[in-house]
Chains A and B, each alone.
Chain A
Amino acid sequence: MSQADLSIPFRRRAGRAMEDAFLQEALTIATTKFIGLRREAFDAFPEGERLRDVAREIKEATLQHLDRYLEQLIGNVERFGGRVHFATTPAEARAVILEIGRRAGARMAVKSKSMATEEIHLNEALEAAGIVPVETDLGEYIIQLAHERPSHIIAPAIHKTKGQIADLFGKELKRTVPADPEALTKLARGELREKFLQADLGITGANFAVADTGTVVLVTNEGNGRMVTSLPRVHVAVMGVEKVVPSMTDLMVFLAILAKSATGQKLSVYTTLVQGPRRAGELEGPEEFHLVLLDNGRVDQLAGPLREALDCLRCGACLNVCPVYRQIGGHAYGHTYPGPIGILLTAMLNGPGSVKELAHASSLCGACVDACPVRIDIPRMLIELRREVDEKRIAPWIERVVFTSVGWLLARPLLYGLAGRIARVLQRPFVRDGAIRSLPLFGDWTRTRDLPAVASRTFRERWSELERETPR
């Protein structure tokens, strides 16, 4: 399955993923491994819990004065010879980048992994404009060869076997290649090394940008971030406005928890701090540096219901612990950002109407909040989204009728008691061993789980009995 077809209902997409035996195994192995590594990293880092709170407060402080920090960032980037561009929509961001590429006469663009450029569907636009985009993160390179989209924020190709990858490389290089991770990695290194040295344009995202110094920060393990920012003649960094942090001191707090949350590493292999174009005396580095500040629904949430999702560091920790993600993987979500945080980000980018099904793709168990380095309360916002989706009448009618009736009933104690007694009688044909195993109209619910039967004596009845029996 390549990019999920949104014309297929979410339930069918999820169902297909659950029937894919390889995907199921890959997901279990990958997510379990990431969970273990993350736990070990924080167990060995006693100050981690406090730093998570500090990081959250920095995010909040930054968002509250986002205008001030962005102005500072812009001023500093320009002072060091960079140019800043402003994009309200994905179309604008694409147009800005294409214009930079056109002016540079670029034929090829090397990219280091960036969710922001995925979000604006940049690669298709580059191709259409005659600039060949080359993803250089190994996982991204694999899925680009397969014409797919990432299935995990930090491990984009976890759904692929080495055999599938060997086939993809073989097709690209027009020869047979061994299905061995080490050999495949070496092949990719050789192929991509040539492209780094040839490309005119380097495109990156930004994990952070430091307002005080005008520095864009990239975190990678492979070193492609360093290549892309050093070798091509022009460097373009694309970042959501929420990625700015006030100072280098703040940056250190985030670095201390980001990799631990993502891969369980104390620090990713490369953290690259880029302050504008090449300076006098430097042998390499781009002649031009461009920073594209992206809104795409973010600014609306500064005072909106999804504001907290602007704190997200894109570490992927909430994906690994999510019981739904662990079953269906990233593609079934059908959008750029998968997993629990992905539902919120999709709603932010495309409006709540785009997640009418996805808003329910969560058990609200709260594992994501515990795993999130900045403790984003994802379930709270999912419930909000469900309510909004419901108010706009996009939920299924049966759900609306049931929840409206139950809500009405819960507010009227006498009728609620009466309804309980009626239900006790009506349920009789359906109850076996104290549970309702199937119920007409609710087949979807009872197919996978039982509904507890209404008790022969309700809590309220027992309570009033106890009150009579217990002398005051």
Chain B
Amino acid sequence: MRKVCVVSGGITKFAKANLLTQEAMVKDAVDYALTDLDGRLDYKDIQSTICTYFSDHFNSQLLFDSLTQDYLAMCPRPSMRIEGGGATGGLGIRAGYMDVASGLSDLCLVYGFEKMSEVSTAKGNEFIALASDTDFDYPVGGFYSGYYATMAMRHMHEFGTTAEQFALIAVKNYDNAFHNRWAQKHERWTLEGVLKAPMIATPLTRPMVCVMSDGAACLILCTEEWAKKLRPKGDYAVITGVGCGTDTMRLGDRPHGDVIPLPGEDPAKYSYLKGRWPGLHCFRAAREAARQAYQMAGIRDPLHEIDFAEVHDAYASSELQTYEDLGFCLYGQGGRWVERGGPYLGGELPVNPSGGLIACGHPVGATGIMQGVFTLWQLQEAMARHCSDPAQGIDGGKIQVAGARRGLCHSHAGTGTYITVNIFERPQ
């Protein structure tokens, strides 16, 4: 398969409410990405598009992808809409990768958006909850914060993880987002403040839960030939690992069995789990996606071979669980890894240097692509240039991972029903 490169990205400032139309938000993100290429890419050079958005319910406009394809002046070029809950953006990157790698397109614009503000928060939660089993789970009062809370409680029971450890992750992400002008929230939180905040579903308090948001994001994927033309200084990224995993729709149906080992791992190292995996405490789909992506990228020691990760932290607890699924630490050690400083800027493997979903916001269809944009900007050492706002005293350089060569973006749907892992690295 052909090499696929990422040359530019664009996002809108994620906000509780953006009163522009969805199509205008998308165009703003696309214009940002094109402007960053200094006119080297002409609109007519885009050969195909991938459009990602999650919910028809939020807009009550079906075929929004046709509307945006048209609005972007992309007709009659080929396009496809990709949807997969919270993993929508990550799946979009996967689809764009497939488009270019297969030879069907030399240059693909992957764009995503979501506008969640036209309904109340409670109604929004209801729509998202409709992405769980509507015969058996939703009617009992299941909604996403509730499902994740039950998972967090089980992780605490299995491994002794604490609410404080989850809270540390929320504080970390808010602190990082403070230096990111695109983030929806610029707030300072203390550990105590997070723990004392209003409870959503035990043990998750309000600041441990991501916010609904309006936003758009895009990435331009292309062949290496195009990448060298568009980034003559060689500041493009290569997608070296692509993985996708799935799991049961109902959390209660998750099996109990043996861990899927990562490439190079001896399965015996997981014998302490006693065949109780993934159950409700681990994400099998994340482990499977990581296995595929690491295999493709030749990664045998993720903690030391990956420089940073943008991980889907819809909940501070799921970020902790994900450290373990991605092999940054052993299953059950996530809490201790946080306390040792592992995922912090300057730590062993900075996770969510951008501030993640918790602080940047989660406009579902755009999120996975937003992560890809931040990943690209890290590798281009361009965080200061893109994320600063001197007028507000924001210095994006503070969240630049120095010397970053390889980054991982992880996108996650439902209770882990779809999970994608995409690995970007600087060219050799």
Q: Do A and B come from one complex?
A: no
Which residues of B line the A interface, CB within 8 A?
A: none
Which residues of A line the B interface, CB within 8 A?
A: none
